[in-house]
């Protein structure tokens, strides 16, 4: 079988082309320090790399959400601690003035001024903001949730943020459940329901006779409002109502328990957010290691392969000089 000149040329051309392609690939890996620069380099690895990059972008957003929620909840805990201090101080004053032997009209008038300052402090704490958004107003973050008369004018909305895939956490605590020990039976809740009810429902009169006989009445719990109780104590002090002063002691204890429970609720959320943040950090580290193993090139190996390929390329060129350019006598021979 005779091997023609065209066949020799084609074989050499293919060998040199493949060698140059491999050299180009190694040079790209050497310059970029990555062994996967285009999907065709490794389709399977490329798909995994893209998946890891998507997870990285998602985790960065989840981390931002966690930090924002943590900021809101930490500030909420600060507000709750300040309100608890106000309640504690009001109770101390009530204890000191609950007995006629330890108080008189002048002392009661004097501490009534301090109670007035405690009331203003509690309203200011309830209207605390982070940036330009109020903390305790529910969805109504653009207006102060408590008016000067101590009425809650926010709502009961909880703003949910996604801190992990399909995992949502409320980043706020509505003031309705903070300022009232029985939120559902509070005047604040009734005002909120009236503001939500359509006009047609508000004007509808309910016929008591239309109720079914034997239906059990809902059990209602006495509500204690933080601002109302502070104002009531001030009124009792100014009027010298000793029985009224003593009646506030147990109420302040109930308010204190409510604030402690709310702080525990906020603390549990913050603890969960910190655990989520740690999980995100671990996932990010794992993804970074996997991405490096798939994408980053072994520079020592690349340089070694490039040197070998250069040797192959030079050998192919030397072989081509002897095969492609024979003399006429050598061709006839």
Residue spans of beta strands (DSSP E) within 223-302: none
Q: How far apart are CA 297 and CA 35, in angstroms?
A: 5
- Beta bridge partners, 167, equal 164
* pLDDT tens-digit map of 120-145: 999 999 999 998 999 999 999 999 99
Domain 61-196+222-291 has CATH 1.10.760.10: no
Q: What is the pLDDT along the chain (333 residues), one digit of tens a residue?
A: 455 666 766 766 777 777 777 777 777 777 777 877 777 777 888 888 889 989 999 999 999 999 999 999 999 999 999 999 999 999 999 998 887 666 788 888 889 999 999 999 999 999 999 989 999 999 999 999 999 999 999 999 999 999 998 899 999 999 999 999 998 888 888 888 887 766 444 444 444 444 444 455 555 678 999 999 999 999 999 998 999 999 999 999 999 999 999 999 999 999 999 999 999 999 999 988 888 888 777 677 767 776 777 777 777 677 666 665 555 555 555
Query: What pLDDT shows up at residue 319?
Result: 67
- Residue 71 has phi, psi (to 5 degrees) of -60, -45
State how far the alpha carbon of 150 is from the alpha carbons of 79, 154, 163, 189, 232, in Å. 16, 12, 34, 14, 12
Q: In 3D, which of 122, 125, 152 has the Cα closest to residue 140?
A: 152
Q: What is the pTM of this model?
A: 0.76
Query: What pLDDT shows up at residue 327?
Result: 57
Q: In 3D, which of 277, 263, 79 has the Cα closest to residue 169?
A: 277
| DSSP reduced 3-state for 101 | coil
Do residues 249 and 232 lie in contact, with contact meaning Cβ atoms separated by under 8 Å?
no
Domain coordinates of the chain in residue numbers?
5-33+298-332, 61-196+222-291
Residue spans of beta strands (DSSP E) within 177-265: none
Q: How far apart are the first and last CA of the chain?
A: 16
Q: How far apart are CA 273 and CA 163, in angstroms?
A: 8
The angle formed by the CA atoms of residues 223, 229 and 235, to the nearest 5 degrees, is 140
Query: What pLDDT shows up at residue 208?
Result: 45
Residue 318 is inside which H or E element, if any?
helix 299-324
* pLDDT tens-digit map of 60-113: 999 999 999 999 999 999 999 999 999 999 999 999 888 766 678 888 888 999
Do residues 129 and 135 lie in contact, with contact meaning Cβ atoms separated by under 8 Å?
yes
Do residues 155 and 137 lie in contact, with contact meaning Cβ atoms separated by under 8 Å?
yes
- For the record, the structure tokens of 323 come out as 């095969």
- Beta bridge partners, 162, equal 168
- For the record, the structure tokens of 295 come out as 């994408």
Do residues 290 and 45 lie in contact, with contact meaning Cβ atoms separated by under 8 Å?
no
Three-class DSSP labels, 152-178 = ECCCCCCCEEEEECCEEEECCCCCHHH
Query: What pLDDT shows up at residue 216?
Result: 53
């Amino acid at each position: 079988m005779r091997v023609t000149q065209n066949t020799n040329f084609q074989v050499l051309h293919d060998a040199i082309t493949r060698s140059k392609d491999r050299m180009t690939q190694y040079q790209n890996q050497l310059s970029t320090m990555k062994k996967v620069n285009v999907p065709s380099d490794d389709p399977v690895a490329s798909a995994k790399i893209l998946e890891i990059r998507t997870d990285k972008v998602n985790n960065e957003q989840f981390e931002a959400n966690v930090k924002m929620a943590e900021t809101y909840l930490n500030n909420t805990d600060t507000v709750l601690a300040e309100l608890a201090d106000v309640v504690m101080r009001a109770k101390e004053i009530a204890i000191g003035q609950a007995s006629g032997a330890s108080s008189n009209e002048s002392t009661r008038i004097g501490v009534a001024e301090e109670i007035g300052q405690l009331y203003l402090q509690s309203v200011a704490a309830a209207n605390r903001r982070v940036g330009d958004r109020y903390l305790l107003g529910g969805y109504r973050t653009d207006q102060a949730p408590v008016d000067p008369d101590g009425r809650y004018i926010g709502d009961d909305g909880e703003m949910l943020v996604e801190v992990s895939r399909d995992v949502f956490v409320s980043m706020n605590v509505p003031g309705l459940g903070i300022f009232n020990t029985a939120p559902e039976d509070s005047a604040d809740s009734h005002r909120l329901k009236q503001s939500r009810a359509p006009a047609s429902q508000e004007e509808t009169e309910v016929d008591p006779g239309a109720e079914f006989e034997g239906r059990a009445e809902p059990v209602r719990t006495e509500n204690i409002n933080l601002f109302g109780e502070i104002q009531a104590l001030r009124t009792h002090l100014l009027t010298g109502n000793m029985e009224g002063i003593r009646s506030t002691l147990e109420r302040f204890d109930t308010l204190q328990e409510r604030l402690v429970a709310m702080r525990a609720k906020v603390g549990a959320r913050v603890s969960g957010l910190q655990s989520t943040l740690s999980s995100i950090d671990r996932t990010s580290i794992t993804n970074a290691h996997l991405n490096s193993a798939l994408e980053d090139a072994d520079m020592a190996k690349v340089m070694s392969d490039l040197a070998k390929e250069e040797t192959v390329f030079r050998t192919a060129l030397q072989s081509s000089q002897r095969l492609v350019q024979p003399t006429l006598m050598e061709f006839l021979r």
